[in-house]
Structure 1
Amino acid sequence: MKTVLITGANRSIGLELVKELSKKGLFVYLGTRDLEKGKAVVNELNKNGLQNIKPIQIDVTNPASILEAKNIIKNEQGKLDILINNAGISGEFPQSALDTSIEAIQNVFDTNFFGVISVTQAFLELLKKSDSPRISNITSGLGSLTLHSDPNWKYYDFKTAGYGTSKAALNAYTIVLAYELKDLPFKVNVIDPGYTATDFNHHNGPGSLESAADFIIKHTLTDENGPTGQFFSNDIEDETGISPW
């Protein structure tokens, strides 16, 4: 049975991923900062017939929390097949480049960028023990520099000095990570689930949780011939789903 860790998984897209991957027969670690909330969520999932799910406390901004989660999975599974870095925050709005404080921007980067690096580096040991390790970093179309430079893009006027730039940095890091792991059986990609109605955006997005989760899973559960170092977006309207950087 393959194992997957999903950070920020006690609600919204992360929770939908937990449900769908459990249905596909994977053992899912539901990553959550608040373990009691995670336990309550898993109890409800169990009541609805979903099994192979365990809550695990992990705060991506806390190195001790990350290490403890890693040691739990190491002791219970000995390896990790899939890491989905889903935890993220939007930060406070508006986010002007002219006057948003350094502290506010750093707060967003701590979760969306540095948190991903911390978790990824910690779990590489366990991922390397998998026959087909996968790392999916959940990004946003707002991290595309190409699209943000196009006045005809539908989200051109939605600029964020913290959130969008943190996702652009995440995209850049993923390119480097995929390159350094290219001679191993890793597949490392950034995946944008699209503008989805979630708690994250007060349910303003047009996309559904089901569509977002399906898209992430499609580009995570790939075979040995799957792509690596790529940027996929559910908002790209062609069959490849490949987004410009």
Structure 2
Amino acid sequence: MGDACKYAVVTGANKGIGFETVKQLANSGVTIVLTARDENRGTEATSLLNEQGFSNVVFHQLDVQDAQSIESLAKFVQTQYGRLDILVNNAGASGVVPDEDVLRAMNMDLVDWLPGKTFEYALEVNGWQMIGPVYSISKLSLNAYTRVLARKYPKMCINCVHPGFVNTDITWHTGTMPVEEGAEGSVMLALLPDGGPTGCYFDRTVLAEF
């Protein structure tokens, strides 16, 4: 590359882990296209970062479920930068709208009840989630697809990462970790040098088993 600058796209980046990932990457000198499905929210998030001194962040609308929207972003990146070095595929939705008060109470009941007891949920023992099972299965599929892509494109670093139980909208703010910690894994993997690990699963910043 004749240009030392790296160019990145972060999807679903107007809030939560995505927003913090953009912030940390921008702080490392990466030029970033912050994307969001909602144009107003994405523009507001980008403006906030620009006001904080991150002039290397721009916005482009993206709905990852819309082929025309994806094509529009690809053309923008090609026209503006000529290449893409980093893609952080962060966009996601839980698919449910729970009663947050009930969910928090249920989580607290589990915390109070489980320690010191011999009872275990059979589903959880076998690796299935009691809360948001459809979302969990979709993430499992995406993680498996990571290995497929890594084999198909051996010259790229393609990995997946579990950010931890982070306090964001997608955990209905029951998470115990701040977004600053939740973004650490994504940022670390985004900044891997050429020849770094690929086709791997990381638990935050630590290589783990699938």
TM-score (norm 1): 0.70
Equivalent residue number for residue 105 of structure 1: none
Q: 2:84 and 2:6 mapped to 1: Cα distance?
A: 8
Alignment-derived partner of residue 30 in structure 1? 34
Partners of 1:161 and 1:209 lie apart in 2 by 23
Code of the aligned partner of 1:218: M
Alignment of 1:129-144 (within 5 A): none
Q: Provide the C-alpha distance between the structure 2 equivalents of 1:82 and 1:226, rounded to a whole number of angstroms.
A: 13
Partner of 1:11: 15
Q: CA deviation at 1:208?
A: 1.4
Q: Across the two proteins, how many residue pairs are aligned to each other?
A: 183
Aligned partner (choices 7, 13, 21) of residue 25 of structure 2: 21
Preserved contact between residue 33 and residue 58 of structure 2 (Cα < 8 Å): yes
Once residues 131 and 44 of structure 2 are traced to their aligned partners in structure 1, the CA distance between those partners, rounded to angstroms, is 37
Unaligned runs of 5+ in 1: 95-147, 235-239
% of aligned pairs identical?
Answer: 36
1:1-245 to structure 2, matched below 5 A, reads 1-92=5-96, 151=125, 158=130, 160-182=132-154, 184=155, 186-234=156-204, 241-245=206-210
Structure 2 distance, partners of 1:36, 1:152, is 42
Q: Which has the larger radius of gyration?
A: 2
Partner SS state of residue 161, structure 2? strand
Shift of 1:152: 8.7
Counterparts of 2:38 and 2:129, CA distance in 1: 35
Letter of the structure 2 residue corresponding to residue 176 of structure 1: V
CA offset at residue 149 of structure 1? 7.2
Computed over aligned residues only, the root mean square deviation of the Cα atoms, in angstroms, reads 2.0
Distance 1:77-1:157 versus aligned 2 partners, 3 A rule: closer
CA distance in 1, matches of 2:159, 2:185: 13
In structure 2, runs of 5+ residues without a counterpart are 99-121
Equivalent residue letter for 2:136: G
Q: Is the 8 A contact 2:9 2:34 kept in 1?
A: yes
Q: Structure 1 pair 150/34, CA: closer, same or farther in 2 (3 Å)?
A: closer
Cα distance between partner residues in 2 of 1:175 and 1:217:
20
Q: TM-score, normalised by structure 2?
A: 0.81
Offset, 1:14: 0.4
SS of structure 2 residue aligned to 1:232? strand
